[in-house]
């Protein structure tokens, strides 16, 4: 059954959605349109004049090996963050689902990281991994690893993946736990009587029933890794060393605000916009329909 | 197929005792119904037999082995759940064959078994559908199909019909009975519905607050309830209970009415008791027979063939079932005789039947 609210006053509904529409227009549509406009312009060195260059900004981008590198870095980074974040949080959720005592404490503690701002999370992990005095760095040093993520690109990638994943686990955990608790206990019991052991039950019953949650989270995690990890990267590696952790959003900011190439930066924004639109379409069109059992 | 034996089975949740010790030997092929109100421990008992709940004390045997520490999947049982517990992401065929596929049966054998079960349950047209595309009764059948194909030694049913509407429930009840006759598999069936219990059972276990109050055939439990609780729970309307005193082979009601006890109860020591009598064991007094008491009818409920007369005898509420042709209605005052051969005396304290 569909519940519909019927408004007596014809203007009230518009009035009620007006604040949201205003926010969307001012903070989303207007900047987005500015980015599109900017992406076909080029500014002079002092930012006083700009002129139309067509698609030249895009053309330059696709010839730029740093941009290709940034794509690769982002692909690796978001894959690692999504896969690690989802696996760890699924494991934690399954464990929490089995707990009988202390569930509240466990859940509360797991949700805390979500409340930490990305830049702060980055700073925290920066301390942990700080070459020399950092706890983790010290441990690795004891094991004979030459640790310095400011110099080693792979180590730098490792650090931002850990920080970004850690922050996202809470969110994934909540959704997985809710998904697990929505599965009737009798299904698991029926499978146990039918002869399935714990692993079999998980892969043939629980996991398929979690798949809508999982696909939703994959999209959310990829979007997170693409767009919301700027703070983590900025506070930990600043895209370095040697651009080994320069993910796309970081490059947008760097090229625009540090390198002062507003046109190129805007062109990158437009490409990112296209990616996020693509992901959203996938989420709403394809996944919502296909993954339902 | 197998016998099932419960010996001193108890269940505690921490300090809370849920099952106080149940003993029963279930014969091969028998249909046992565990009946009782919600919270009496009947489902817990069934789940202990299934292996879904740990046994605190005592032992449960299926076939020739004690299964206390055996996993549900190795107990050779199949269970039908109240909410059917169908796997929503699998087709009917996949649901029914899940247990067989896990046990690594060959495709041809699986096909054969599923086909046979689908024939018995009339599920052939629905094998490729998902559970959500089925009606309640069809889902119920799929759940049964999943149990049947496994060809287990024991079927366990946990209130399988309580989610169905009244008409379908009666129909499915009959189908379960037929199925049992056809397959002859030992079955244990939990229900709170005493009509289901009476119609399906070879033997009943009437549970009350974690105790088996009475174990016996439906006829036995009905005509000779072991406690006032059983008499009140089995039978609709329930047995009537009227306080009385026994003196010299007579049961004397509070208003002085004196009823001669039958042979088997004549030796009852004098004292205060409860007289139990079923609504259909009171009849209209024939001319010259001499009425034993008069019922002040308060409300008459006509059911068709019979009429239920609600009123008071010696200040206690009772129900009497008389043929509608007797012609009584609200505010009638029929003169009645009790069929004393059918009465029972119960201890006032414990509610136990005095034989």
Residues constituting chain A: 293
Q: Which residues of B touch A199 (CB under 8 A)?
A: none
Q: Compute the distance between CA of residue A237 and CA of residue A254 in angstroms, rounded to an integer.
A: 13
Show the domain range for A172.
60-292
**Cβ contacts of B179 within 8 Å, gap of 6 or more:** B120, B144, B148
Q: What is the pLDDT of residue A291?
A: 52
Highest-pLDDT range among A115-129, A244-258, B215-229? B215-229
The DSSP 8-state label assigned to residue B46 in this structure reads H
In a domain, A31, yes or no: no
B273 contacts B346 by C-beta, under 8 angstroms: yes
Residue A205's closest chain B neighbor by CA? B87
* pLDDT the model gives residue A242: 77
Q: Among A46-55, A183-192, A217-226, which stretch is predicted with the lowest mean pLDDT?
A: A46-55
Sheet with strand B316-323: strands edge to edge: B296-302, B306-313, B316-323
Find all residues with CB under 8 Å of A161, minimum gap 6, and list them.
Answer: A77, A80, A81, A84
Can you give the pLDDT at residue B80? Answer: 92
The domain tally of chain A equals: 1
pLDDT at position B1 is 66
Q: Say yes or no: A292 contacts chain B, CB-CB below 8 A.
A: no
B99 burial level (CB within 10 Å; 0-12, 13-18, 19+): buried
The answer to whether the Cβ–Cβ distance between A193 and B73 falls below 8 Å is yes
Spatial contact of B270 and B281, defined as CB atoms under 8 Å apart: no
**A209 interfaces chain B, CB cutoff of 8 Å:** yes
Taking every pair of C-alpha atoms in chain A, what is the biggest distance, in angstroms? Answer: 76
Is residue A85 domain-resident?
A: yes
* A46 falls within a domain: no
Cβ-Cβ contacts under 8 Å between A and B: the total is 58
B52–A contact, CB cutoff 8 A: yes
Q: Determine the Cα–Cα distance for residues A60 and A57; give it in Å rounded to an integer.
A: 5
Residue contact B79–A184, C-beta within 8 A: no
Distance from the Cα of residue B251 to its chain's centroid? 31
The per-residue pLDDT of chain A, averaged, comes to 84
Mutation site for B-interface testing, chosen from A194, A199, A201 by largest number of B Cβ within 10 Å: A194
Contact check, Cβ <8 Å, A192/B77: no
Cβ neighbours of A209 in B, within 8 Å: 88-89
Q: Describe chain B by its helix, strand, coil percentages, rounded to 5.
A: 30, 35, 35
Interface test with A, best of B80, B102, B104 (most A CBs within 10 A): B102
Question: For each of chain B's 355 residues, which pLDDT tens digit applies?
Answer: 688 988 888 888 888 888 898 899 999 999 999 999 888 889 999 999 999 988 898 999 998 889 888 888 888 999 999 888 999 999 999 999 999 999 888 999 999 999 988 988 888 899 999 998 998 888 988 998 999 898 899 999 999 888 888 888 888 899 899 989 988 899 999 999 988 999 999 999 999 988 889 999 999 999 999 999 999 999 889 999 999 999 888 888 888 888 888 888 888 888 899 999 999 999 888 877 766 888 889 999 998 899 999 998 888 999 999 998 888 888 888 888 888 888 999 998 888 988 7
Per the structure block, which two tokens stand in for B312? 């008071």
Check: CB of residue B191 under 8 Å from CB of residue B115: no
Cβ separation A192–B150 shorter than 8 A:
no
Q: Name the DSSP letter for residue B70.
A: S
Q: Please indicate, yes or no, if residue A2 is contained in any of the structural domains.
A: no
- Interval A83-95 mean pLDDT: 92
Q: How far is B233 from chain A (nearest CA, A)?
A: 29
Q: Please check the confidence at residue A243 and state whether its pLDDT lies above 50.
A: yes
What CATH number does residue A257 fall under?
Answer: 1.10.3720.10
CB pair distance less than 8 Å for A194 and B98: yes
Q: What pLDDT is recorded for position A155?
A: 85
Tell me the C-alpha distance between A218 and A170, whole Å.
14
Asked casually if ipTM beats, i.e. exceeds, 0.90, the reply is no
> Which of A193, A198, A211 to probe by mutation at the B interface, max B CB count within 10 Å?
A193
Residue B25 in tokens? 């030997």
Query: Rounded distance, CA A93 to CA A114, Å?
Result: 15
pLDDT for residue A57 is more than 60? yes
Residue A7 located in a structural domain: no
pLDDT at residue number A275: 87
Residue B70 contacts A where some CB pair is shorter than 8 Å:
no
- Can you say whether the dihedral through the CA atoms of A188, A191, A195, A199 is positive or negative? negative
In this structure, are residues B79 and A193 in contact, taking their beta carbons and an 8 Å threshold? yes
pTM of the model: 0.78
Chain A residues whose CB is inside 8 A of the B72 CB are 189, 192-193
**Which residues are B216's β-sheet partners?**
B204
**How far is the alpha carbon of B209 from chain A, nearest alpha carbon, in Å?**
24
In a domain, A44, yes or no: no
CA distances for A19 relative to A16, A27, A29, B155, angstroms: 7, 12, 14, 61
CB A146 within 8 A of CB A155: no
A198 — contact with chain B (CB < 8 Å)?
no
In a domain, A223, yes or no: yes
Residue A258 lies in a domain: yes
Q: Tell me, what DSSP letter sits at residue A53?
A: -
Q: Tens digits of per-residue pLDDT, B135-192?
A: 888 898 899 899 989 889 999 999 988 888 888 888 889 989 998 998 889 999 999 9
A189/B52 Cβ within 8 A = yes
Q: Which residues does B354 contact at the CB level (< 8 Å), separation at least 6? A: B265, B268, B273, B344, B345, B346, B347
**Pairwise CB contact (< 8 Å): A193 & B50:** yes
Interface check A184 vs B, CB under 8 A: yes
Contact across the interface for B73 and A205, Cβ inside 8 Å: no
Indicate if the pLDDT at residue A1 is higher than 50. Answer: no
Contact A191/B at CB under 8 A: yes
Q: Do A190 and B81 touch (CB under 8 A)?
A: yes
């Amino acid at each position: 059954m569909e519940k519909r609210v019927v408004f007596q006053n014809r203007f009230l509904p518009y009035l009620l959605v007006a604040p949201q529409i205003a926010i969307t227009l001012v903070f989303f549509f207007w900047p987005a349109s500015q980015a599109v406009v900017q992406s076909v312009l080029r500014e002079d060195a002092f930012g006083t004049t700009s002129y139309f260059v067509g698609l030249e900004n895009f053309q330059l981008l696709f010839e730029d090996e740093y941009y290709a590198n940034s794509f690769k870095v982002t692909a690796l980074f978001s894959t690692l963050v999504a896969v690690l974040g989802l696996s760890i949080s699924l494991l934690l959720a399954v464990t929490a689902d089995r707990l009988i005592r202390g569930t509240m404490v466990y859940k509360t503690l797991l949700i805390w990281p979500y409340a930490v701002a990305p830049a702060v999370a980055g700073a925290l992990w920066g301390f942990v991994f700080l070459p020399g005095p950092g706890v983790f760095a010290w441990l690795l040093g004891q094991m004979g690893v030459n640790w310095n993520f400011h110099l080693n690109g792979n180590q730098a990638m490792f650090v931002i993946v850990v920080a970004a994943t850690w922050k996202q686990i809470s969110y994934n955990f909540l959704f997985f736990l809710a998904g697990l608790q929505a599965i009737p206990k009798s299904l698991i019991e029926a499978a146990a009587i039918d002869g399935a052991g714990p692993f079999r039950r998980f892969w043939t019953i629980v996991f398929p029933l979690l798949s809508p949650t999982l696909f939703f989270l994959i999209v959310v995690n990829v979007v997170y890794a693409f767009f919301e990890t700027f703070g983590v990267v900025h506070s930990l590696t600043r895209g370095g060393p040697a651009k080994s952790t320069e993910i796309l959003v970081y490059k947008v900011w760097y090229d625009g605000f540090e390198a002062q190439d507003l046109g190129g930066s805007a062109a990158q924004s437009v490409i990112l916009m296209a990616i996020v639109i693509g992901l959203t379409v996938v989420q709403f069109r394809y996944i919502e329909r296909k993954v339902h059992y | 197929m197998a016998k099932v034996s419960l010996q001193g089975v108890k269940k505690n949740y921490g300090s809370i005792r849920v099952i106080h010790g149940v003993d029963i030997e279930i014969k091969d092929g028998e249909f046992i119904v565990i009946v009782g109100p919600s919270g009496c421990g009947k489902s817990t008992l069934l789940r202990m037999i299934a292996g879904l709940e740990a046994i605190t004390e005592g032992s449960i045997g299926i076939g020739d082995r004690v299964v206390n520490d055996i996993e549900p999947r190795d107990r050779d049982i199949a269970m039908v759940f109240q909410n059917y517990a169908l796997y929503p992401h699998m087709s009917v065929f996949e649901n029914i064959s899940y247990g067989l596929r896990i046990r690594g049966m060959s495709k041809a054998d699986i096909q054969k078994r599923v086909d046979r079960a689908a024939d018995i349950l009339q599920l052939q047209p629905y094998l490729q559908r998902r559970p959500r595309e089925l009606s309640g009764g069809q889902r119920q059948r799929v759940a049964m199909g999943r149990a049947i194909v496994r060809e287990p030694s024991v079927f366990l049913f946990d209130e399988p019909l309580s989610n169905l509407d009244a008409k379908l429930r009666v129909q499915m009840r009959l189908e379960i009975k037929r199925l049992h006759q056809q397959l002859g598999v030992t079955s244990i069936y939990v229900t709170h519905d005493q009509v289901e219990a009476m119609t399906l059972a070879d033997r009943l276990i009437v549970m009350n607050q974690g105790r088996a109050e009475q174990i016996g055939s439906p006829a036995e439990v009905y005509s000779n309830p072991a406690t006032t609780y059983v008499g009140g729970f089995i039978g609709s309307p329930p047995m009537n209970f009227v306080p009385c005193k026994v003196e010299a082979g007579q049961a004397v009601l509070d208003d002085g009415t004196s009823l001669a006890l039958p042979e088997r109860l004549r030796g009852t020591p004098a004292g205060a008791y409860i007289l139990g009598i079923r609504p259909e064991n009171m009849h209209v007094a024939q001319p010259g027979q001499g009425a034993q008491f008069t019922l002040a009818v308060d409300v008459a409920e006509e059911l068709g063939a019979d009429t239920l007369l609600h009123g008071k005898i010696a200040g206690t509420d009772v129900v009497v079932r008389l043929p509608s042709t007797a012609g009584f209605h609200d505010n009638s005052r029929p003169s009645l005789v009790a069929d004393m051969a059918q009465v029972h005396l119960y201890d006032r304290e414990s509610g136990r039947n005095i034989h």
